[in-house]
Amino acid sequence: MVGERGEIYAVPLLFKRVVATLLTLIGIVPFVALAESQRINLNMLYLEQIEQRPAVLSNILPEAEDSGLRGAELAVADNNTAGRFLNQNYQLETLIEKSPQRLLERARVWVAEGNGVIVANLPEKTLLALLSQPLIQTKGLVFNVGSESDELRRSQCRSRMLHTLPSRAMRADALIQYLVAKRWHQWLLIKGQQPGDALFADALQRAAQRFGGKIIGTKTWSFDTDLRRTAQKELPLFTQTKPYHVTLVADEAGDVGEYVLYNTWHPRPVAGTQGLIPVGWHRVVEQWGAAQLQNRFTELAGRWMNHKDYAAWIAVRAAGEAVTQTASTDAALLYRQMLSENFELAGFKGRKLSFRNWNGQLRQPMPVVHPRALVSQSPQEGFLHPVTDLDTLGIDPAETNCQFQTL
């Protein structure tokens, strides 16, 4: 039997894959072509701060603990596959840690040793502390893959920081555009009690104002009952208001939001942090070749790729593209290249991606999904912007008061 799959043929292929993955992971990649050019090595540092997650009622499906990291690892492998032909080699060092001080110290030493690129899965406060170090400001290049904070893109921008994770404003704009396009433009807003919930509620409010919709009422969830037993009784009363089109939920930790669906007073769809969600990446994205990225990720990580994995993946890929385009690993040069007008990046979202030169945010289409299917992708048709319709999502230059340097 020559080559029937599952028999003789499948074994060497699997073996080959394992070897290839191992080789790539430890950074020994076969040297093939372009031998005349100088070998380029880019070392990157992945920093992650472990945070205490708030206790939630709905704790059935927790977020993967290695969110972000596995995306960065996949992109390093991807970059190295290309690197074989370009005489480039990429490596990733990792520090996952509770203490912000130790993370900051590692970053300082890392850059002092002559490296530059940091993939930061850090909360806003630690990121700002990182970027306030003079050494990072002059010699570093930080990708924010962990914080959705709008202030980091509006009033607290930092030069040498690029955001590949979409902000809350981008997510809210993506969702609200879709709802307005559907002419479902009156909403009841339910928010949780965590700080992020209020921020996402603000982002929804801002989007409602931008795109012409109305939040007819806002309710803050403050009950402390266990909704798994009593949602059916509590929520109809809680959501009893005048009629509206969609129930918006701002509950980032998933405390109450999961129980809003099918329990509202009016029979209305639920959107926001639960139900129909706007997100940078999701398992259901499969168009534009995304199925291939999803397959590669699942094979590496043994689970589905989420929005943080994607943010880390595209950050490391962007660094790789900038290295290819500049033939350099100098952080200043890479940063300038990524913010230049001719930088473009393919990211399986159906459009070329690029960075905004007023706050360093990656412009990107935003999937709007429910747990089992892609519903839409924003920007929606008809929402226009002088430069590109992708800039209808997120903070515009006129809204920022940043001193953001692109050099």
352 sits near another protein (criterion: CB under 8 A): yes
Half-sphere exposure of 387 (CA within 13 A, CB side): 12
Interface with another protein, residue 385, by CB under 8 A: no
Give 63's Cβ-side CA count (13 Å radius).
17
- Tokens 């880019």: give the residue: 42
For helices 307-326 and 69-86, give the axis angle rounded to 10 degrees.
20
Residue among 4, 36, 65, 341 that touches another protein (CB under 8 A): 4
Nearer to another protein, 352 or 370 (CB): 352
Q: Which of 62, 212, 236, 289 binds another protein (CB under 8 A)?
A: 289
Interaction between residue 386 and another protein (CB under 8 A): no
DSSP-assigned beta bridge partners for residue 392 = none
Choosing from 40, 56, 64, 82, the residue that interacts with another protein (CB under 8 A) is: 82
15 is a site residue for another protein (CB under 8 A) = no
Q: Which is nearer to another protein, 107 or 314 (CB)?
A: 314
**Among residues 59 and 81, whose Cβ is nearest to another protein?**
81
Q: How far is the CB of 398 from another protein (least distance, A)?
A: 22
Q: How far apart are CA 399 and CA 169, in angstroms?
A: 12
* Smallest distance, another protein to C-beta of residue 296, A: 7
Number of residues in contact with another protein, rule: CB under 8 A? Answer: 34
Q: Which is closer to another protein, CB of 13 or CB of 50?
A: 13
Q: Does 283 bind another protein (CB under 8 A)?
A: no
Residues 6+ positions from 157 with CB-CB distance below 8 Å = 358, 359, 360, 400, 402, 403, 404
Q: Degrees (nearest 5) of the Cα angle 319, 300, 83?
A: 35
Using the rule CB under 8 A, is 13 a contact of another protein?
A: yes
Closer residue to another protein, CB minimum distance, 2 or 55: 2
Q: Indicate whether 81 belongs to the interface with another protein (CB under 8 A).
A: yes
> Is residue 251 part of the contact set for another protein (CB under 8 A)?
no
Distance CA 319, CA 143 (A): 9
The one among 292, 302, 382, 406 contacting another protein by CB under 8 A = 292
327 binds another protein (CB under 8 A): no
Asked if 350 is part of the footprint of another protein (rule: CB under 8 A), the reply reads yes
Q: Does 2 bind another protein (CB under 8 A)?
A: yes
Among 85, 132, 232, 233, binds another protein (CB under 8 A): 85
Choice from 48, 73, 78, 150 touching another protein (CB under 8 A): 78
Q: Does 34 bind another protein (CB under 8 A)?
A: yes
Q: Which of 26, 30, 60, 341 binds another protein (CB under 8 A)?
A: 30
Q: Using CB under 8 A, pick the residue from 137, 193, 241, 324 that binds another protein.
A: 324
Task: Choose one: 148-156, 182-190, 275-283, 292-300; the region binding another protein (CB under 8 A).
Answer: 292-300
Q: Which residues bind another protein (CB under 8 A)?
A: 2-5, 9, 13, 16-17, 20, 30, 32-34, 78, 81-82, 84-86, 289, 292, 295-296, 299, 324, 344-346, 350-352, 388-390
